[in-house]
Amino acid sequence: MSEDSGQIDHVFHERRKFAPPAEFTKRSVVSSQDQYAELCQRATENRDEFWKAEAEEHLHWFEPFDSVCEFNAPDVKWFDGGKTNASYNCLDKHVEEGRGNRTAIIWEGEPGDTRSLTYAELRKEVAKCAEAMLELGVGAGDVVSIYMPMTPELAIAMLGCARIGAVHSVIFAGFSAESIADRNNDAKAKLVITSDGLHRRGKVLPLKETVDEALAKSPTVEKCLVLRRIGNSDTPMTEGRDHWWHDVVDKQQGELHAAPMDSEAPLFILYTSGSTGKPKGILHTTAGYNLWAKRTFQWVFDHREDDIYWCTADCGWITGHSYIVYGPLSAGATCLIYEGAPNFPAENRFWELVEKYRVTILYTAPTAIRAFIKWGDEHVEKHDLSSLRLLGSVGEGINPETWIWYHEKIGGSKCPIVDTWWQTETGGIMMSPLPGITATKPGSCTFPLPGVVPKIVDELGGDVDDQHGGMLCIAQPWPGMLRGIWGDHQRFVQQYWTTVPGMYLTGDNARRDRDGYYWIMGRIDDVINVSGHRLSTIEVESTLVSHDCVCEAAVVGRPHELKGQAISAFVTIKDAEPTEELRQELKQYVRKQIGALAQPDDIRFAESLPKTRSGKIMRRLLRDVASGREVAGDTSTLEDLSVLAKLADEEA
């Protein structure tokens, strides 16, 4: 392959295939290939007609919309002229339609305390929170930063904002004071909602102190609302600025109606780290996002009345926004929310929760699954997981061996796995199996959802042989697409709409196999160029992970005089010693499995791999490590790379 073709040399072959269980197909939301084909056809060929009907059926409209989709790349308006409200769609709609007594949220705190809220109760709490925000001077269009533990109040605060048209900006409760201040300032936040602290792995972490440090540098913030979560009596409170949740929220009536909002009114901003520079505030608006979150939830998770659905993400990430709050609640689902760590008090906590609440749908991330594998099967085996019927994966590519373990050990070989590919920017799932109809291949996110038109192109936007792979773009607008980067239109245009004019650039590489299945090959920046062959990191990583002794692997390129780049692999191991012998064995293993070309030039054993707070391997950091110094042949000691992750702070 020539160096400038933009194509990627695909070297990894996964041939296993799993048919959807017949029982599943019979009663699933999308239950035949014909139905799927028809949905796709209508969504692309009669786009406006299709989405008009979807929006009319699935959202509540205070005022009808005039147009369906006005697309003038990169600007787009969905359902313009209409008025709806996401909090209404998530709550009032169910109460009005007689489903107020359904359980909306089942919550368990890390210490084991529990709470459950019906849709009617949740609506009341949300209305109270909204009333309190109005009292604190927040109105439509104002930005509210939310920095909270995974308590019901976090979802209540988000929906409270939506109810009055305030724009929430959830900041993951692991971020530093500096990061909170940056986000407050970029968004010009007026209110911050936080708590006195949170429970994490049996410890109590103060949050308000961190927020105070941030507020000293956040001139736009006028008020701070503080939930008492841990009962920390010496929480610092600034007179006039800070208010306890139990003082201002609890006394409210809880009767406030949802405000009719323009379809394109901002619903939330969510900051995501750019590959370089400061984090970008991804903007999502009301109607299109809400519809996309709801419909993708229903299609992909095949939601049924009696499901107990558990998404293990944090609301600090888009997964929590779309698949803990807006998607499932719009669909009237019963959602389990768990506050704490998966290994507290012990490594079986997740499985204990699945058994206790009879969870039927579990949605988690490959990084968590790889941790479970490392912790050992015994933690899983002592629990009855027979309630599970569907498993989901999100956040990174799932290595086939990890997929197989998830399928067998967690799913009892009977649950379909939906490997969902999407991004903060896409608002919701873009490609995924549909559990009743899609035969899955481990490691492939399979096919696009209705209305999603993927296109694989070279660096100039030209067609490539998609069996090799190239840059993944989306060629048509979809309702959940981002509307911009908060306060930085130019960066929005530059980042997503310039490389390939008229199409949304995802920043990922992908290929399509002969059966039409899509395989995500990692970020564009992660491609390794060895002697003119462009390789995908995930393919080499998946091969390493398929070796019995390897738990996790990260592969990066480092400069090499002759080859352009050499391949450096970092691995964590199980049931093995970090010896030179194992190192050679792993190199030979990759060579044998996928070819000499992909054989790592060096392999380093690591205690753990550096990850972002959302669990993605920081390959950029490892590239620096790999190119910094040559690896001496006899280094067999384990390196603790988590230290590096800490040094790099959250934006790496």
Instruction: List binding-site positions for Mg(2+).
Output: 545, 547, 550
Of the residues 5, 272, 387, 627, which one makes contact with ligand WT7 according to CB under 6 A: 272
Q: CB-based burial of residue 586 (10 Å sphere; 0-12 exposed, 13-18 middle, 19+ buried)?
A: buried
Rounded to an integer, what distance in angstroms lies between the CA atom of residue 115 and that of residue 125?
Answer: 13
Q: Judged by CB under 6 A, how many residues of this single chain contact ligand WT7?
A: 21
Of the residues 69, 173, 394, 482, which one makes contact with ligand WT7 according to CB under 6 A: 394
Rounded to an integer, what distance in angstroms lies between the CA atom of residue 75 and that of residue 73?
Answer: 5
Within residues 502-541, the interface with ligand WT7 by CB under 6 A covers 506-508, 520, 523
Rounded to an integer, what distance in angstroms lies between the CA atom of residue 62 and that of residue 265?
Answer: 14
**x-or-dash pattern for ligand WT7, window 488-507, by CB under 6 A?**
------------------xx
Indicate whether 402 belongs to the interface with ligand WT7 (CB under 6 A). no
Within residues 612-651, the interface with ligand WT7 by CB under 6 A covers 614
Task: For ligand WT7, give the closer residue by CB, 420 or 543.
Answer: 420
Task: For ligand WT7, give the closer residue by CB, 523 or 587.
Answer: 523
Indicate whether 421 belongs to the interface with ligand WT7 (CB under 6 A). yes
Least distance in angstroms from the C-beta of 506 to ligand WT7: 6
**x-or-dash pattern for ligand WT7, window 351-380, by CB under 6 A?**
------------------------------
Least distance in angstroms from the C-beta of 415 to ligand WT7: 17
Least distance in angstroms from the C-beta of 538 to ligand WT7: 8
Rounded to an integer, what distance in angstroms lies between the CA atom of residue 564 and that of residue 533?
Answer: 10
**Max Cα separation, the chain?**
72
Instruction: List binding-site positions for ATP.
Output: 395-397, 419-424, 508, 523, 534
Identify the sign of the CA torsion 343, 322, 90, 144.
Answer: positive
Instruction: List binding-site positions for CoA.
Output: 200-203, 319, 343, 531, 591
Task: For ligand WT7, give the closer residue by CB, 153 or 396.
Answer: 396
Rounded to an integer, what distance in angstroms lies between the CA atom of residue 6 and that of residue 2?
Answer: 8
Within residues 580-599, the interface with ligand WT7 by CB under 6 A covers none
Within residues 425-454, the interface with ligand WT7 by CB under 6 A covers 445
The token pair that represents 592 in the structure block: 């044998």
What's the first-to-final CA gap in the chain, in angstroms? 32
Chain position whose Cβ is nearest to ligand WT7:
424
3-state secondary structure of 57: helix
Select the span of 48-56, 338-346, 413-421, 629-637 touching ligand WT7 (CB under 6 A): 413-421
Question: How many CB atoms are located within 10 Å of the residue 579 CB?
Answer: 11
Task: For ligand WT7, give the closer residue by CB, 508 or 639.
Answer: 508
Select the span of 17-25, 67-75, 314-322, 640-648 touching ligand WT7 (CB under 6 A): 314-322
Element (H, E) at 283: strand 280-285
Range 543-576 burial, b when 16+ CB lie within 10 A, else e? bbbbbebbbbbbbbbbebeebebbbbbbbbbeeb
Residue with tokens 């109270």: 128
Indicate whether 318 belongs to the interface with ligand WT7 (CB under 6 A). yes
Instruction: List binding-site positions.
Output: 200-203, 319, 343, 395-397, 419-424, 508, 523, 531, 534, 545, 547, 550, 591
- Which ranges of 568-618 does DSSP label H, i.e. alpha helix? 580-594
What residues have CB less than 8 Å from 423, skipping those under 6 apart?
A: 318, 430, 506, 507, 508
Residue 316: name the closest of 112, 599, 608, 614 by CA. Answer: 614
Task: For ligand WT7, give the closer residue by CB, 79 or 496.
Answer: 496
Indicate whether 14 belongs to the interface with ligand WT7 (CB under 6 A). no
What residues have CB less than 8 Å from 255, skipping those under 6 apart?
A: 127
Positions in the binding site for ligand WT7 (CB under 6 A): 272, 317-319, 394-397, 419-424, 445, 506-508, 520, 523, 614
